[in-house]
Copies of this chain bind each other. A is one copy, B any other.
């Protein structure tokens, strides 16, 4: 593949991709083609990884009993989270739709293989968390590439990762990094759902270039 110029038009559209990517919790029935999932996984695997360790493992969760176990884990964790807010915040929390686990045609668990020898440990002696970070970058690439095909991704973190790993029956050395809902969204939005819902605002510190 030759190196494109990445002209102003491409950069504008890439900015739009970053802007219109959403954490999707509202999915249509429309299935996601097998070829699309494979393609997105391949694009995700172009992510940087510490020492070229490539530690991400993409697990499609199709078995109904496994999906049900994940949904049950979410429901317990979500009830506990709700109980930890005081009255006003709890009422607002309860109105949020935080996941689309039941509607999403595809459930995708992304794990980090902590026992991989690929990369021979390079770069992670003093910051071992960079192994997981590599998987996180693969997830964001998957997410953006999906959006560029009109496919939505929602990251569900309100669950017990050990319960999910047990339900998935993956090697003991794998850590759950993300549980993703994947499917075609019902709507397109340029602003985050938690912003539209009034849960949180943009934080000026997030765009500040601090000088040292």
Contacts and interface: CB of A to CB of B under 8 A. Distances in A.
Q: Which range contains the number of A residues in contact with the other chain?
A: 35 or more
A195 interface: yes
A208 interface: yes
Interface string A4-35: 10100011111111111101000000000000
A60 interface: yes
Consensus secondary structure, chain A interface:
mixed
A14 B54 CA distance: 20
Contact of A126 (B43, B61, B132, B160): B160
A144 to B, nearest CB: 7
B6 A57 contact: no
Contacts of A53: 200, 203
A129 B136 CA distance: 11
Interface in A155-189: 155, 157-161, 168-170, 176-178, 188
A209 B158 contact: no
A206 to B, nearest CB: 4
A104 interface: no
A89 interface: yes
A103 B122 CA distance: 22
